[in-house]
Amino acid sequence: MKKLLVVSILLCHLLHSNPPQNSMTGRSTSYREICKEAALDDCTFQKFRSIKPYFDALECGQGGEFAQYLMENATDQTLSQIGSLRKLDLYGDPVRNEIPNFGLFSGTTLRYIVFADSMKRLFDLPDHCTIVEIGAGFGGQAYVLSHLVPFSRYYVYDLPEAEMLIERMVATLGVPNVRCLDVYAELPLEEVDLFISNYALSECDKETQLDYFKRVAVKAKRGYMLFNDTNVFDHLSLSEWIELFQENGIHPKIHPEPVFTYSGNHLITWDRTKS
């Protein structure tokens, strides 16, 4: 009888255990170590964006193509704020280039500006909206959005080491209303205005993807998700993502990446306020 009870408790635990949270960046011990060190050590904080494993995980090309996109597509409001958004590059010593019309910028910061501007143009977001981001890097997207799309709450799900760094970065930059949550925590709101996950949820294993989808994404009225297909774990393909959305009453739109960076990458968006 006692044996049966132990077996059933174990079975119950197995059936309800948390997903493993495997992901491409998560399996890189050096990436996680740099995040933690940058959060705790001033010297690493001053240079983390140029340390190779971190650079390889997060930073992108030279930036000219993002600047070109902004010149051709961005709203006047975005263009007028570009100079002040350069502040993001003051920390972590990112690789910066002199970009015509824009000055000295990292490609990654320009990429965050492209995405924020594209969200602004795609969605009719309320003033002081609520946002949740899965896989927020060092908090750069939150910083840029705080200038272009002011929010009242910005929840972040990321690995513990990355969240330590995000907390340091948002405190240093004075980004208000950002709160990092434990990867297994419930979203504190019943619904949010905008869900974001760029090159992050698509890099997790399938079990983690399904868990975040059910626990977080379905609570969002709108979504902006950059999908990339460089994932060694069993994961959802683009067509499986579309099926999953549709099964849950969400009608996603599939767009090319705003600026092409890699073949197979796509932008997935949804807006339930319009359907």
Task: By CB under 6 A, name the binding residues for ligand SAM.
Answer: 21, 23, 25-26, 57-58, 134-137, 157-159, 162, 183, 198-200, 203-204, 208
Sequence-distant (≥ 6) Cβ neighbours of residue 168 within 8 angstroms: 38, 39, 45
Q: Are strands 103-105 and 253-256 parallel, antiparallel or unpaired?
A: unpaired
Pick the closest to residue 268 from 248, 257, 253, 258 (CA basis).
253
- Nearer to ligand SAM by Cβ, of 21 and 68: the residue is 21
Q: Nearer to ligand SAM by C-beta: 9 or 185?
A: 185
C-alpha 39: how far from its chain's center? 18
For residues 155 and 199, which CB has a smaller minimum distance to ligand SAM in the complex? 199
Q: How many other β-carbons are positioned within 10 Å of the β-carbon of residue 215?
A: 16
Strands (E), the chain: 97-99, 103-105, 129-134, 151-157, 178-181, 192-198, 220-227, 253-256, 266-271
Q: In whole angstroms, how close is the CB of 257 to ligand SAM at the nearest point?
A: 12
Q: Kindly state the smallest distance separating residue 156's Cβ from ligand SAM, in Å.
A: 9
CA 195 to CA 179: how far, in whole Å? Answer: 14
Smallest gap from residue 8 Cβ to ligand SAM (A): 30
Nearest position to ligand SAM, beta carbon: 135
Is 57 or 148 the residue whose CB approaches ligand SAM more closely? 57
Rounded CA-CA distance 248/234 in Å is 21
Nearer CB in complex with ligand SAM: 74/162: 162
Q: How far is the CB of 88 from ligand SAM (least distance, A)?
A: 12
Distance in Å, CB of 210 to ligand SAM, minimum: 13
